[in-house]
Structures are given as C-alpha cells and as structure tokens.
Amino acid sequence: MSENTHALIKIFSSKELEMIQIKTGVTNVEDLSVLLKWLNELWPPFVSFDAEKKGLILPQPILAYENDKVVGGLAFTGYEKPQQDDIGLWINAVYVHEKWRGLKIASKLIRTAEIVATQYGHECLYAQTDVPHLYLNNGWKIVSENQGNTVLSKSL
C-alpha cells in the first residue's frame, strides 16, 4: 500500500452529532505529532512511528478525527510472534483523547487496523495490553497472560 493511499471510514456516534472519521495512510506531520505527543505522555519514550521494524514493513498510523482535529490514533510495530521465531505485525499503541472516550473509537481503530493488516498481507495481528476486554469484545483471542499484561491475537 502506498504512503499516499488514504482510506476514509465514516462513523456516526449516537452520543455526538459530529462525524468521526478514521483515516489510514496518514502522512501529515502535524497530525502525527499530536498522536506522538499523547503516546509519549503515556508510554515514554515513544520516539517515532517506524516505517520498518525487524525487517517488517509497517503501516502508517491510523488516526481518528472529529472535523479536522485528531481525537485518537493507533500505531503498529513489528515483534516476534508468540511461541514462534518469525516477526509479526503488532498493534503498538491505541489512544483516544479523554473527551472522546466511550464512543467506541478505540474499537473502530482496532477494526481498521485489522483491515490494514490484511492489505499488507498479514494473516494475524497481535497486541499486548492491560485492557484485554477492548480486544476480546472485537473477537480477539488470548494467547497468554502475565502480571496484568495480556497478549492477544486475531486471525484475519
């Protein structure tokens, strides 16, 4: 998928009259810096969005917008697959600004990540999280649990 390719998914919330848009392939530096700032506040040091990790080409982050304002996003990484020696595609971080939580934006970001992963030729997507219910509610399966962190996967 080319960096200039953008997919747009329109989502209307029952709680808000505003339209939420989920965009893939975002390359706008200002928009990406908003997400990067949030991720650094929560999980420092979140230095940059890698284009490649451990030999795996990574999709650009996925961003959620209200009008033209970034309200959330999702980033990818490459890491070893659970109980395997090869590298798989992982969701590295999901974040939704506090004002916009409770509108299922994180779920929509995750479902969009699943679509993007298949566009990049992946048959499975992985995540490690301390909020497994977010993934379980979207059809993911637990791979392992250890000290409050859960590794999950979704066959695509």
28-48 tens-digit pLDDT? 999 999 999 999 999 888 778
pLDDT digits (tens, 9 = 90+) for 108-155: 999 999 999 999 999 999 999 999 999 999 999 999 998 888 999 999
Within 8 A by CB and 6+ apart from 70, the residues are 31, 34, 35, 63, 64
On whether the CB atoms of residues 23 and 31 are closer than 8 A, the answer is no
pLDDT at 148: 81
Within 8 A by CB and 6+ apart from 152, the residues are 126, 127, 128, 129, 132, 135, 136, 140, 141, 142, 143
pLDDT digits (tens, 9 = 90+) for 81-116: 988 889 999 999 999 999 999 999 999 999 999 999
Instruction: With a cut of 90, say whether residue 3 has pLDDT above it.
Output: no
Q: All domains of the chain, ordered by start, with CATH?
A: 8-155 (3.40.630.30)
